[in-house]
């Protein structure tokens, strides 16, 4: 299953400056297009199930997969964090990654969008001097923390985020705390990009044609850790057919 909860939200820290985003293609498409991705270039699509038949209905190849889910309980025995230091060194130069610092509040939806578009720039032609174009150019040589600080001070990005947050059908007071992460493929490797983690996480080999199916294996593992929740949503960023 997937997308049983059509509207969901963001992450750990509350705050008026970065309110949570509803997890719907309509919200994310308008948000992305307002930032500088031309409407004829790419769009988000819902994934209505995790079985092969439902996945086959999603326009592919995928540029990125966004997953929205409730935060699982902290597991001190989880060895994943110990791996991240190595992964960050080996991927920081090739993967565009932004750290989610405390002052960014519920900005994980925006960070997931930036991870998706920022790592698909070879496939998406941004509008020149648009918000995204200027942001990626100005932060290209920065580390993940520096990029986070630039994002936190970007008034145009913050305004666009707030407008997108108010555009959903779900009342902000009704949204439960959830978190966005992004999956993408670069140079034949599947990466998980989570701003709350120490860096990009490698998940083995993949391709644009198999990205969605490969990401679903990781998504199912995350869902398995949160058995009492139905608040999951999966979206795919795909190129629009020419």
**Catalytic site positions:** 108, 179
Query: ∠ CA 125-122-185 to the nearest 5 degrees?
Result: 130
| Distance from C-alpha of 232 to C-alpha of 193, rounded to nearest angstrom | 17
- Taking alpha carbons only, the member of 106, 103, 118, 110 closest to residue 184 is 118
| DSSP β-bridge partners for residue 202 | 191
Residue 201's alpha-carbon distances to 97, 173, 217, in angstroms, are 11, 33, 14
Beta-ladder partners of 66: 182, 235
Round to whole Å and give the CA distance between 108 and 99: 10
């Amino acid at each position: 299953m997937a997308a049983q909860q059509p509207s969901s939200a963001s992450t750990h820290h509350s705050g008026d400056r970065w309110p949570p985003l509803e997890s719907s293609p309509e919200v994310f498409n308008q948000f992305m297009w307002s930032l500088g991705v031309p409407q004829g270039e790419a769009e988000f699509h819902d994934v209505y199930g995790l079985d092969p038949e439902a996945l086959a209905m999603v326009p592919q190849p995928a540029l990125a997969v966004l997953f929205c889910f409730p935060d699982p309980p902290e597991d001190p025995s989880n060895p994943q964090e110990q791996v991240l230091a190595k992964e960050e060194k080996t991927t920081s130069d090739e993967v565009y990654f932004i750290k989610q610092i405390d002052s960014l509040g519920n900005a994980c939806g925006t960070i997931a969008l930036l991870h998706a578009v920022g790592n698909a720039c070879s496939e998406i032609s941004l509008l020149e001097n648009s918000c995204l174009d200027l942001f990626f150019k100005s932060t290209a040589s920065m580390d993940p923390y520096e990029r986070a600080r630039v994002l936190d001070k970007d008034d145009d990005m913050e305004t666009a985020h707030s407008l997108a947050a108010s555009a959903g059908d779900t009342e902000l007071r009704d949204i439960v705390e959830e978190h966005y992460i992004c999956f993408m493929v670069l140079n034949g490797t599947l990466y998980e990009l989570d701003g709350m983690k120490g860096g990009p996480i490698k998940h083995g080999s993949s391709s644009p044609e198999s990205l969605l199916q490969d990401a679903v294996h990781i998504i199912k593992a995350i869902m398995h850790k949160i058995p009492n929740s139905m608040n999951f949503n999966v979206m795919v960023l795909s190129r629009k057919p020419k």
